[in-house]
Structure 1
């Protein structure tokens, strides 16, 4: 992914108002992000424990999505799998993220949900740059490039549902 500026990020959101996009908390460490290893930029809002955001490139343009989730934690023995990168995590490492749909459907209260890594580090897990709390990912017969393609495809399919 190409490096992004704060203005790039704020201008990309499809499921919130311009005012909401202007007020949301953008990461302060954009210059230090591992852009070459990211398929999308994802972060949690430090001031709102139930909000996260992601920005991805789709059809040669940036698409920002505001997400909400329930902050409740599951027990450590419970394991869940991310629907984007297929990484399993114990406890609260995977969360159901809900995104309001774009346009009039979103204004009517319609949303789409997806189980995702709570820290939104899917790109780093797939590339082996970050290890889940459980210590390892499942061994796959797919190459890293194929896993990256699957991850970006899963995310693109989710974003596509926000438009319908």
Structure 2
């Protein structure tokens, strides 16, 4: 992912008000390993149920404010729709984003299950298990990882595109 400044991140949001953008608590951008992520995701330090994701769509950053509910004891396990990693022990959670533009002002939303701590980029970079690439050499394993990374980019960009879509 391209390195972004605070200003670029705040300008990228497509489903927020000016006030919500101003109030968003950004992560420490100096600590972000930009070359190891497909999207930047973080939780708001001041408001538990708010999270944010910035992804690249057609070469430009698109930011989304997401809402979630606190975990309940009856929570069902879900697979992350973005990384689709079946080996993680922590289940994904449902994040809901208000759509951009007039649709969002009307209350239209879209949701998806995503890793609770936005660790998808780490998940797709893990070495494949023997059941995923049986007997593969190192080149085949790297091909599998590269494919996982590209598919993550595509799924995140598709979701961001749907949030940004105003028609």
Fold agreement, TM-score > 0.5: yes
Aligned-residue offset at 1:3? 1.6
Contact 1:87–1:138 at 8 Å: present in 2 too? no
Contact 2:49–2:68 at 8 Å: present in 1 too? yes
Aligned-residue offset at 1:90? 3.9
Structure having the higher strand fraction is 1
* 1:14-72 deviation digits (Å, cap 9, x = unpaired): 00012211111101x21111111110100011211111100011112110000001112
Report how many aligned residue pairs link the two structures: 155
SS at match of 2:78: strand
For structure 1, the residue ranges without an aligned partner over 5 or more in a row are 130-135
Contact 2:42–2:53 at 8 Å: present in 1 too? yes
CA distance in 2, matches of 1:138, 1:13: 40
The CA RMSD measured in Å over matched residues stands at: 2.3
Q: For structure 1, which segment, 95-104 or 119-128, has the greater mean C-alpha deviation from structure 2 after superposition?
A: 119-128
Task: Trace 1:90-129 onto structure 2 (pairs within 5 A).
Answer: 90=89, 93-128=91-126
Aligned-residue offset at 1:121? 1.5
Given the alignment of the two structures, is residue 84 of structure 1 paired with residue 82 of structure 2, yes or no? yes
Q: TM-score, normalized by length of structure 2?
A: 0.84
Q: In the alignment, which residue of structure 2 is the partner of 1:17?
A: 17
Aligned-residue offset at 1:79? 3.5
Contact 2:57–2:161 at 8 Å: present in 1 too? no
